Amino acid sequence: MTENIIENYQKNNLVDPFNRNINYLRISVTDRCDFRCVYCMSENMTFLPKVSLLTLEELYRLASLFIDCGIKKIRLTGGEPLVRKNIMWLIEQLSRKINSNDLEELTLTSNGSQLIKHANDLANNNVRRINVSIDSLNEDLFKKITRWGDLKKVIEGIQVAKKAGIRIKINTVALKGVNDEEIPNIIKWAHDNDMDITLIETMPMGDIDGDRTENYLSLTEYKETLKKYFTLRSCDYKTGGPSRYYICEETGGVLGLITPLSHNFCADCNRVRITCSGKMYMCLGQDDSVDFNSLMRSQATDRDIIDLIHQSIRLKPISHDFKIDKYNTLPAVSRHMSVTGG
């Protein structure tokens, strides 16, 4: 489609000012979610008006142009991506990019609530891996953390997805005084069920009706607690994301740690993020963004959009500015996690 359009650029090569190759695009297809996780958003959220959202056709056009510029992996996020109406149309179109060898991988991050309904269609459209968020195996605590979630339904959805051939990785946000004592059991449960698991530090994004400092748990420090339960061996396992991975010798399973605050992953950052409204954030922890929405809706050519993609990559900062402590209790960025999907 754009063979001639990008003749002035080195094809398949998006490089930021710090010589990092950008080959991973995260697309938040909706800011809406059927959960209200306490660390992610307030219970009474005001979501974007639907007119502000890029249509699925616009999202596909934009994703295709990023692919032409060298993006090899796309992760669909939210909000909860599977609550977006007709989302399977977009997934079907992106699946064709894998069939044509233009895209290497299409993945999702999900709360698991819609997997019973969609898992088989996802598997049939080249989705081989899904990250599912589970922060507790206790039904009451799961409900308290998610406010609206149903643990049994999520676990059933995971089982349906695994049966369809999709590899599931569990994401668990570590919360001091909430689920920290349960985490070793969650790790063992995941590994016993042939699933990798990643622990994630809570991030200071958006107003959540509470004080994050109360529940922030440094995973760099918590790793010492985990060593009482598991022998952790560093490994070079990679998924394209920010996790540092370990093998738990006792289970044989993989444990990832995402530590944006206690040990940031910025040096190896290979990703940018597009929101459902068409804003591109070059960094999760910065408010600087570039608006593709207005450009795409002004009869922009593919060349215009590709020019802006390259210009935007040149604005990518070296790192984020996340801080959580008694002196930094306010969000580092005003937008909620559901806007950019982590």
Tens-place pLDDT, residues 50-79: 999 999 999 999 999 999 999 999 999 999
* CB-CB contact of 278 with 48 (8 Å): no
* 42: confidence class by pLDDT, cuts 50, 70, 90: confident
CATH number for the domain that contains residue 286 = 3.20.20.70
Q: What is the pLDDT of residue 200?
A: 94
pLDDT for 324 beyond 70? no
Per the domain annotation, does 239 fall within a domain?
A: no
Q: What is the pLDDT of residue 341?
A: 59
Q: Which ranges in the chain belong to alpha helices (H)? A: 56-68, 87-99, 115-123, 139-146, 151-163, 183-192, 219-226, 293-296, 302-313, 337-340
Per the domain annotation, does 316 fall within a domain?
A: yes
Residue 26's nearest CA partner among 239, 274, 325 is: 274
pLDDT (tens digit, 9 = 90+) per residue, 264-280? 667 788 999 999 999 99
Residue 219's nearest CA partner among 187, 169, 252, 257 is: 257
Provide the pairing of β-strand 105-110 with 73-77. parallel
* 237: confidence class by pLDDT, cuts 50, 70, 90: confident
pLDDT for 226 beyond 80? yes
First to last CA, the chain: 30
* CB-CB contact of 13 with 62 (8 Å): no
Question: How far apart are alpha carbons 83 and 31 in whole angstroms?
Answer: 10
pLDDT for 331 beyond 60? no
Q: What is the pLDDT of residue 178?
A: 95
Domain count, the chain: 1
* Residue the block writes with tokens 């992610």: 40
pLDDT (tens digit, 9 = 90+) per residue, 104-159? 999 999 999 999 999 999 999 999 999 999 999 999 999 999 999 999 999 999 99
Helix axes 115-123, 87-99, angle to 10 degrees: 20
Per the domain annotation, does 135 fall within a domain?
A: yes
pLDDT for 325 beyond 50? no
Distances (CA, A) of 16 to 22, 264, 317: 7, 18, 8
Q: Pick the more confident residue, 127 or 7.
A: 127
* 333: confidence class by pLDDT, cuts 50, 70, 90: very low
What contacts 24+ positions apart, CB below 8 Å, involve 233-236? none
Average pLDDT score over the chain: 88
pLDDT for 36 beyond 80? yes
Q: Pick the more confident residue, 319 or 255.
A: 255
Per the domain annotation, does 324 fall within a domain?
A: yes
User: Which residues neighbour 146 within 8 Å (Cβ) at sequence distance 6 or greater?
Assistant: 35, 36, 37, 111, 135
Q: What is the pLDDT of residue 327?
A: 40
Q: What is the pLDDT of residue 210?
A: 60
Question: How far apart are alpha carbons 33 and 59 in whole angstroms?
Answer: 19
* CB-CB contact of 120 with 160 (8 Å): yes
The pTM score is: 0.88
Q: What is the mean pLDDT of residues 158-182?
A: 97
pLDDT for 209 beyond 70? no
Burial of residue 325 (CB within 10 Å: 0-12, 13-18, 19+) is exposed
Per the domain annotation, does 16 fall within a domain?
A: no
Full domain range(s) for residue 323: 24-170+270-340
Map residue 270 onto helix, strand or coil: coil
Question: How far apart are alpha carbons 321 and 313 in whole angstroms?
Answer: 19
Q: What is the pLDDT of residue 323?
A: 46
Q: What is the pLDDT of residue 329?
A: 44
Tell me the sheet residues that pair with 127.
106
Distances (CA, A) of 121 to 28, 30, 75, 161, 165: 20, 19, 16, 10, 11
Per the domain annotation, does 323 fall within a domain?
A: yes
The rounded percent of the chain whose pLDDT value lies above 70 is: 85
